[in-house]
Amino acid sequence: MNKSTHAEIEHIPEKPLAEIYPLGTVTTKVQLADGSWLAAVSPLLGVSPFSVWKVGAALGAMLTSVLLVAGWVLQRWTQPLTYFAAAAERLGTDIQAPPLDERGPFEVRTAAKAFNRMQARIRRLVEDRIALAAAIAHDLGTPITRLRLRVEEIGEEEARRAILQDLQQMQRMIAATLGFARLDFTAEPTEMLDVMSLVQRVADDASDAGGEVNFSGPEHLPLRTRPIALQRALTNIVENAVKYGKRARISVAEQPGAIEIAVEDDGPGIPEPLHAEIFEPFRRLPQTTDKAIDGTGLGLTVARSLIRGLGGDITLANRHEGGLRVMITLPSVRETRLGM
């Protein structure tokens, strides 16, 4: 047999495929020139239209295509939700952030426009609050000044001193209220800083003012944040520790994904049921000492607002040894990319 002529025989599988089955045989007879007959018998084969392999391969290819297209469509339609979530989180820390891009499908454009309108309303609300606080501070400044001048005409020294102290306290409260109103409006850019250097500056300032302050932690600890806001919040907490707890001990530690700054004192602490209430504006606890301690009740309120504006939080806990522990937790990595 000529191999080149019948090379197709090599393509015949040794074993029949599962979807091929015999239907019968076909006999072919040819009469030769000498009158003899040449008979050839060949099998008649059929192919099953319901082959498991064929159906499985077709379904697999179809499912793969459907999954790929569905994944692309799902990613395309859910990506704006990621942008909205990032924008909402950013709005909580910076109301001056640029508006969302109003592009994309109709539903996405509608949601982006509604979000931008909401952000604009919040910005106007904060601006109106600042204007109101500034107007009140300005209007109260004039009568307070007149009262100070009239107090000088009081002959009794003790009464005059008490009234002047009250007027001074009113001026401090007005200034603190105006500063508190401006917290959410002032947009400070973030920058990379060394937390330990900032803690040292706060501790040195408190020590220069006569307080007993010490700190511990790593030699260097980089963090991307708003330095003025963090310094102001930490200063308020350290001043409270020195004022009400005799001394302040600052410790800094790095945790996975976060930086913790603890400020401890040796004071009487705060009853646990009042830990949430003490953060309310102008809330002051009854003083346990005979000596009056000046304050407006905004120190912890301002500190928590600033820290939350940095993406962190403040918690309180009473120490077993006595005193209060104020824990500041800041995210060490905070990168958000926005777009539509």
- Give pLDDT tens digits for 7-28: 544 555 555 555 666 777 888 8
Return phi, psi of residue 214, to 5°: -140, 160
Lowest mean pLDDT among 103-107, 117-121, 183-187, 322-326: 183-187
DSSP letter string over 106-158?
A: HHHHHHHHHHHHHHHHHHHHHHHHHHHHHHHHHHHHHHHHHHHHHHTT---HH
CA dist., res. 291 & res. 273, Å (int): 25
Evaluate whether 199 touches 219 at the Cβ level (below 8 Å): no
Of 261 and 190, more confident: 261
Would the CATH topology of 52-186 be identical to that of 188-285+294-340? no
172 class by beta-carbon count within 10 Å (0-12 exposed, 13-18 middle, 19+ buried)? middle
Rg (CA), the chain: 40
The domain made up of 52-186 has a fold known as Helix Hairpins (1.10.287)
Query: How many C-alpha atoms does 217 have within 13 Å on its Cβ side?
Result: 24
CA dist., res. 299 & res. 295, Å (int): 8
User: Cα–Cα distances in Å, from 301 out to 12, 14, 49, 180?
Assistant: 86, 85, 77, 8
The pTM score is 0.59
User: Cα–Cα distances in Å, from 129 out to 5, 196, 309, 313?
Assistant: 97, 35, 18, 24
Residue spans per domain, the chain: 7-47, 52-186, 188-285+294-340
CA triplet 93, 97, 103: central angle to 5 degrees? Answer: 130
Closest residue by Cα to residue 28 from 13, 44, 16: 44
Q: If one looks up domain 188-285+294-340 in CATH, what number appears? A: 3.30.565.10
One-letter amino acid at 27 equals T
Confidence category of residue 270, pLDDT binned at 50, 70, 90: confident
User: Cα–Cα distances in Å, from 335 out to 134, 170, 306, 328?
Assistant: 35, 42, 19, 20
CA triplet 204, 206, 212: central angle to 5 degrees? Answer: 95
Return phi, psi of residue 296, to 5°: -115, -10
329 class by beta-carbon count within 10 Å (0-12 exposed, 13-18 middle, 19+ buried)? middle
Helices within the chain (DSSP H only): 52-91, 106-151, 157-181, 195-208, 227-245, 299-309
Span 62-68, mean pLDDT?
88
Residue 339 CA, chain-centre distance (Å), reads 17
Q: What is the pLDDT of residue 149?
A: 82
Q: Average pLDDT, whole number, for the chain?
A: 79
